[in-house]
A and B are shown apart, each in its own frame.
Chain A
Amino acid sequence: MEPCIIEFIGEKSIIGIVPNFSFEPLHLISGSVGPFRAGLPVHVPLWLGIHLRKQQKCRIVPPEWMEIELLEEIKEAEKKSKFFTKMPSEHYMVEAQLIMSTAPDDVPKCEELRTIIKDIFDIREAKLRTSIDAFIKGEGTYAKLDNLTLLEMHTVRPILPHSLDHIARYQRTAMATQRDTSTLGLSNSMNTSHFSQ
């Protein structure tokens, strides 16, 4: 998946806006939105919210998690934990990026928030790289990736799956070679655990 596709998927997240116009509900295929009442908050998909904001037809209500204290806590938890902590939103990077670049004025302490979010992302990326390193050295073929968000997963793509595919290929070749030699009586062990401990 290319970055533009990840963004496209993230744009389906629901956010709050406060429109400055009134309109009846719209029955979209993906679900209904509205009614829009000037000054009253309403939930819409991110792609629609961004569009309306660019047209100056609304103000964006920052998601609840875009808040300094909460994010500081998350950052500390992320630092302390060996594992990935659960992010407040599956698409936190896409949401932050789109909302903050389109409507910095709608987000109090926008710059500070931007920095913390980037910090959290960096901590997680570093953790991800360390675990990948350990994972590959441990010659595993399977790993649990709980709480990793789509975008984060794709920062290691295609390198991670490809390198694993290559390792697996070498292992199969090694096994085949071993099989050949074992049929010649040079080895009597074909235990797969040699390669996957």
Chain B
Amino acid sequence: MAKSNKMFADKAFELVKELERSSQTIPPFDDDGVRQVLEEIKAIFEENCAQAANYSTSGDRTLWPLLNFRHAALQRNKRCLLTYLYKRLLRIKALRWEFGPIIPADIKTSLCEPEVNFFNTYSKSLASYMRSIGDGQGIDLTGDLRPPKSLYIEVRCLEDYGKFELEDGEVIYLKKNSQHYLPRAQVETLVRQGILQHIA
């Protein structure tokens, strides 16, 4: 698009839109975009300062609408930029709940340095809060995310696995397509391996 067709704050708005559209866990920090917006803010501000000075000496009221317009553009730029940053923070916070205190390496490359700092501080603060709950008894709030259905789960067997001994000594036969109601903790591994499928 030719530069002349561009409106003030287009870039800032684009930052927000791009982020909203992205289905990635978190898209790379748009360093360049952020810099452009900051430059536009600075440029608008300087122009307005110059004209405001002009206005106060000349008292030329025709400058007034333009000053107002630029001010609005300035505000919109700031607002969009901060929205962009804030929306990223929300995703960065979500990383802590999903992956724990270490950001997966492939995601980390998408974060700028202040974001990594934010994450680390957030992570530490959350951990120390969780430890302090209940007069130091502590609760891990990142667990128990959904209502417990049961210690037992219903599973369907996806392949002929054969004998499986439970901790209490009971032996069951895992046949393809057979269904069982078994202690969750004891069959989680088989579920992860794809031998059992968790149903309902």
Contacts and interface: CB of A to CB of B under 8 A. Distances in A.
Q: Do A and B touch (CB < 8 Å)?
A: yes
Chain A interface size band reads: 10 to 19
Contacts, number: 17
A105 to B, nearest CB: 15
A51 B152 contact: yes
Contact of A7 (B147, B150, B152): B147
User: Which secondary structure characterizes the binding site on chain A?
Assistant: helix
Interface string A1-45: 000110110000000000000000000000000000000000000
B146 A4 contact: yes
A169 B127 CA distance: 39
Interface string B128-166: 000000000000000000110011101000000000000
Nearest to A9: B147
17 contacts: A4-B146, A4-B147, A5-B147, A7-B147, A8-B147, A47-B150, A50-B150, A51-B150, A51-B151, A51-B152, A54-B150, A54-B152, A54-B154, A54-B181, A55-B152, A55-B181, A101-B200
B150 to A, nearest CB: 6
B199 to A, nearest CB: 12
A4 B152 CA distance: 17
A8 B146 CA distance: 10
Most central of B147, B150, B154, B200 by chain A CB within 10 Å: B147
A161 B151 CA distance: 36
Chain B interface size band reads: under 10
Closest 6 CB pairs of A and B: A8-B147, A54-B181, A4-B147, A51-B150, A4-B146, A5-B147
Interface of B: 146-147, 150-152, 154, 181, 200
A94 to B, nearest CB: 12
A8 B150 CA distance: 11
Contacts of B147: 4-5, 7-8
A4 B150 CA distance: 13
Contacts of A5: 147
A4 B151 CA distance: 16
A96 to B, nearest CB: 16
B83 to A, nearest CB: 20
Nearest to B150: A51
Interface in A49-73: 50-51, 54-55
A117 B92 CA distance: 45
A67 to B, nearest CB: 26
Nearest to A55: B181
B43 to A, nearest CB: 33
Contacts of A54: 150, 152, 154, 181
Contacts of A51: 150-152
